């Protein structure tokens, strides 16, 4: 099943807001220059031909995303050409259905998988083990529950919303100022939010090819 254009736009837009919204508001309200954006806010955009662009989102709409590349000029990527978007080694968006991506996910604190089973059950939890043919969860004490891959409809990666660039800046340059920054308390209490990234969809063709950025 193909993603709708609006769904594609909203998926990347959610990541954009999570990464840059607070930073832009802070920079505008403080009157200071742009906050450094060479690490936390940078995303890597992989296209279907294997080429990659790393930089910041300048503009996004249902058909294209424009990236301010680390090596000017800016780059415009068409929706149908975009395969994955990642921040560091964690996915923010994926256009493919891949069990290999499910196997590769390294869940961080307060992150989990959202797994939909064919009987309609939805499981939101951290699995004990993910293998080539199943996902295993702990039930009670020594008891385990195994769901075979052919029982699974979809797998979403519920990742913690990335730090805003402003939060990352304060953490490194002015940690005392975090006391006055709302995101600090959201993260202490686990209320920073989650971004769902669809990794596997059984109704779509499976693509488990190893992905690696090719030289441009």
pLDDT, one tens digit per residue, over 152-189 is: 999 999 887 655 555 455 445 545 444 444 444 444 44
The predicted model gives 140-144 an average pLDDT of: 84
* Overall residue count recorded for the chain in this entry: 216
CA distances from 14 to 18, 134, 197 (A): 6, 30, 11
Who has greater pLDDT, 181 or 113? 113
- 215: Cβ contacts below 8 Å, ≥ 6 apart: none
Look over the chain and give the mean of its residue pLDDT values, rounded to a whole number: 74
Q: How confident is the model at residue 31 (pLDDT cuts 50, 70, 90)?
A: very low
8 A C-beta contact, residue 65 and residue 77:
yes
- pLDDT at position 42 is 79
- pLDDT at position 96 is 95
Taking the C-alpha atoms of residue 115 and residue 129, their distance in angstroms, rounded to an integer, is 13
Produce one character per residue of 147-183: b if its CB has 16 or more CB atoms within 10 Å, e if not: bebeebbbbbbbbbbbbbbbbbbbeeeeeeeeeebeb
Calculate what percentage of the chain has a pLDDT beyond 70.
64
Per-range mean pLDDT, top range of 21-25, 56-60, 123-127: 123-127
Tokens of 158: 């519920």
- pLDDT at position 41 is 60
Q: Where are the domains of the chain?
A: 5-201
């Amino acid at each position: 099943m193909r993603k709708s254009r609006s769904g594609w736009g909203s998926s990347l837009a959610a990541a954009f807001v999570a990464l840059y919204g607070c930073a832009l508001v802070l920079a505008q309200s403080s009157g200071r220059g742009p906050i450094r954006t060479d690490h936390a806010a940078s995303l890597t955009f992989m296209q279907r031909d294997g080429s990659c662009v790393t930089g910041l989102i300048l503009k996004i709409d249902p058909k294209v995303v424009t990236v301010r590349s680390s090596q000017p000029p800016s780059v415009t990527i068409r929706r149908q050409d975009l395969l994955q978007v990642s921040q560091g080694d964690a996915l923010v968006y994926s256009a493919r259905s891949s069990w290999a991506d499910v196997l590769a996910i390294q869940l961080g604190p307060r992150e989990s998988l959202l797994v939909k089973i064919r009987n309609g059950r939805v499981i939101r939890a951290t699995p004990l083990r993910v293998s080539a043919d199943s996902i295993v969860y702990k039930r009670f004490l020594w008891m385990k529950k195994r769901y075979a891959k052919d029982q699974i409809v979809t797998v979403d990666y519920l990742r913690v919303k990335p730090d805003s660039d402003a939060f990352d800046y304060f953490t490194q340059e002015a940690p005392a100022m975090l006391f006055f920054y709302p995101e600090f308390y959201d993260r202490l209490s686990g209320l920073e939010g989650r971004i769902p990234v669809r990794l596997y969809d059984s109704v779509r063709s499976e693509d488990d090819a190893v992905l690696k950025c090719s030289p441009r």
